[in-house]
Amino acid sequence: MVTDGQTPQVDGISSVAPASTPAPVSSAPVASSAPVTGTPAEKRLSRIALISIIIAAFLYVIPAFALMTLFPRADGNFTGLKANGTLFYLFGSGLWTIGGLMMIVRILSVKSKMQLKIGALLRVLAVAVPLILVSVTVLLQMQKEPTLYLDIVSPTNAQDLIAPVSVTFGMDSALKYFKQLGMMPLRYEWNFTGAATAQQETLDPQSQLTFLIPKAGIYNVVVAVTMKDGRVKNVVTSLVVSRGSFSVQPMIPIIDEPVSFSLENLIPPSTDPAATKLVKAKWDFLGRGVTDLETDNLTVTYTYHKLGSVTPTVTVTLSNQTQSVVQRTIQVVKAPEQPFPITLETEPASLLGPPPFGVLFKINTHEPLKTVAWDFGNQKSGEGLRVAQVYSAVGTYTVNVQATSQSGAVAKISKVVRVTNPLNINDLSFEGTPEVRDFSVTGEVPLTVDLTPVTSQPLITFSWEAPKADDVVMTDKSLHAVYRDQGKYSIDVIGIDPDQNVYRKRITVNAQPATSIVTFVMDPPTPTAPANVKFDASDTFVPSGEEITGFEWNFGDASSGDQTSNFSGSRTEHLYQNPGTYTIGLKVRTTSGKSFTGQQTLVVRAPLIDACFIPSRRTGKAPLGVHFDTSCSTGEFSSWLWDFGDGSQSDMFDPTHVFGKEGNFIVTATATTKDGKKSIKSTTISVSAL
């Protein structure tokens, strides 16, 4: 009830009516905002209502910001919180909307000045509208579709992102999100360069792909994933490659496999005379501060024979007189384990040569294979267990083969083929046997080939390939190879100059059938007397139509003025008591009465004579008992004589002696063989007082 002298409040603000006009009585409820006029109790209630509204708004806004930081998300976590938050802010937006409308209706129903009504309306809107907007924003944010990001599978360390670098991208996180929503990916279109069209399309449900990033820069990678229902979802990432270096092929070097290093991405080849060119590159492949190779070629190779991390470095001098040092760290690893036994053979074995360079690739495995797919590294591909490829241009090519078994297991193997500028060696000739004529050698089996290349050109390093020889010994120049079976074989001689230019030539080996051969093996080949030597003539054969009836051995050691002969089989043995050089002769007799002979020289070394003893202890207090052990001695000794340095002696092989007083005693042992040879050894025993 309104008393005299008072007017109704509009949103807590009184309107002052003229004194002569009675104030109208309003049945509208009084707003809860703080009054400007009124009784003290009304003012107190209005303040409490205002504080309550502020606290409620504050408590309403804080969780809203928390939810907006948590959502949207692609990992599927906090689904319960998302559902509860949606219900809470859906209800809250309705509550604030209805409450605000009710207050607006009340304010408009009060008969008061328009100025007071507008002020009250603005205060209501200042509270209700922001809270309604917060509610709507939270609801939209939680229902918003999250940004799906690609996983970087390798390299895992950002410091390894040095161009050129192969980066493997995966979509495990995105696939989990698709599965939660019941989506089924059908096709993946990969775009690595921001071009209008995708660079590659895959259907692999594992959704991994490796891309070679050629140079430093920022790469925005987008994968458009087409679902079975036709919807398209984008999965993205932004990759920053901060710097570039020389390229390495393969990117992860394999121990004992050639590795190719190239500066072409830093110094592109150009025919323009004004273009900057490489003058000199000093390569330190092991990061030791030592130049391993100096060349003006942009591409070089090196083979690592030790596992672990290494930092190859190259000092580059350019035609514009600038010099820079470039390096990168690489990890030399073992060849990756395959899901089943499989090997890749190549012919030639050394994948290095001038163009045109033909290579035969062959997969060896006992595993039943479903498919064998080849990428030859020169934009050509193939299929099959045995394929061939001819490389006609100079360059370094990484060959990848993927073999899929019937069970679905996948084996991947890589090889590097290096095609270089040709090296001409016009005056090349060969020393040794047999004589090389028109790059061909001929002889009867067993055919032994001993060759050394000769040329007037300096600084040429030679290597060899003799893939089917029985015994091969190769040095940086010479070759020793033995062919025991008749047939046609090949030997490749490879020459490399300091600029990595390559000469490659094939020598044909014609191993013809032997008319006869008498040969035997001695075990041990260089024995020490006395020695029991075993002889084996199993590899002996005679001409066709003949049969061996027996072996007559002459062991070359004199007995009563005559040499000992022995009729036996192809295998026998003989005891040599004394050192010396013996000529071993073998005569093979046949059914027709013919005989075929062969001989070898056997050197029997004199036995090593070396007396040795080990005391059980060397120091101690008197009386000190010491045992002397002679089992470490070499040779056969018939007698020992000991002098213990305290006036006592012994002729035992392993004596024990008690030193009764203090002092340093020199113990000397003299060992004598049955033929009078002596060996003397000494040591000192220190005895202290009690």
Q: Are 122 and 183 contained in the same domain?
A: no
Residue at 424 is within a domain? no
Domain boundary among 125, 143, 161: 143
- What pLDDT score does 368 carry? 94
Residue at 187 is within a domain? yes
- What pLDDT score does 123 carry? 81
Which residues lie closer than 8 Å to 69 by C-beta, 6 or more apart? none
For all residues of the chain together, what is the average pLDDT?
84
Q: Are 15 and 118 contained in the same domain?
A: yes
Angle, alpha carbons 455-456-460 (nearest 5°) = 65
Which residues lie closer than 8 Å to 545 by C-beta, 6 or more apart? none
- What pLDDT score does 35 carry? 41
Stretches where the chain sits below pLDDT 70 are 1-39, 41-43, 45-46, 49-50, 75-76, 558-565
- What pLDDT score does 547 carry? 85
Residue at 24 is within a domain? yes
CA distance 293 to 275: 25
Compute CA distances 619 → 133, 356, 624, 684, whole Å.
Answer: 96, 77, 8, 9
Q: Are 349 and 254 contained in the same domain?
A: no
Q: Are 503 and 532 contained in the same domain?
A: no
DSSP 95-134: HHHHHHHHHHHHHHHS-S-HHHHHHHHHHHHHHHHHHHHH
Q: Are 95 and 182 contained in the same domain?
A: no
Domain coverage including residue 618: 614-688
Q: Are 232 and 257 contained in the same domain?
A: no
Which residue, among 156, 155, 152, 158, has the nearest Cα to 192 in the 3D structure?
Answer: 152
Domain boundary among 483, 512, 541: 512
pLDDT in tens, 118-158: 887 888 888 888 888 888 888 887 877 788 889 888 888 87
CA distance 451 to 313: 37
Residue at 2 is within a domain? no
Q: Are 358 and 400 contained in the same domain?
A: yes
Residue at 562 is within a domain? yes
Residue at 4 is within a domain? no
pLDDT in tens, 534-550: 999 888 877 777 888 88
Residue at 609 is within a domain? no
- pTM equals 0.48
Q: Are 548 and 646 contained in the same domain?
A: no
The encoded tokens of residue 528 equal 């020490």
pLDDT in tens, 6-44: 444 444 444 433 433 343 433 333 344 444 445 676 567
Residue 444: strand pairing partners: 512
Q: Are 17 and 127 contained in the same domain?
A: yes
Q: How many domains does the chain have?
A: 7
Query: Which CATH number goes with the domain that contains 363?
Result: 2.60.40.10
Domain boundary among 558, 578, 604: 604
Q: Are 249 and 327 contained in the same domain?
A: yes
CA distance 552 to 565: 7
Q: Are 406 and 460 contained in the same domain?
A: no
Q: Are 593 and 636 contained in the same domain?
A: no
Count H helices and E strands in the chain, helices first: 4, 52
- What pLDDT score does 636 carry? 82
What are the strands, taking DSSP E only, across 228-273? 232-241, 243-244, 247-249, 258-262
What strands, in cross-sheet order, belong to the sheet with 395-405?
352-353, 410-419, 395-405, 369-375, 381-383
Buried b (16+ CB within 10 A) or exposed e, 58-97: eebeeebeebbeebeebeeeeeeebeebbebbeebbeebe
Residue at 254 is within a domain? yes
- What pLDDT score does 441 carry? 94
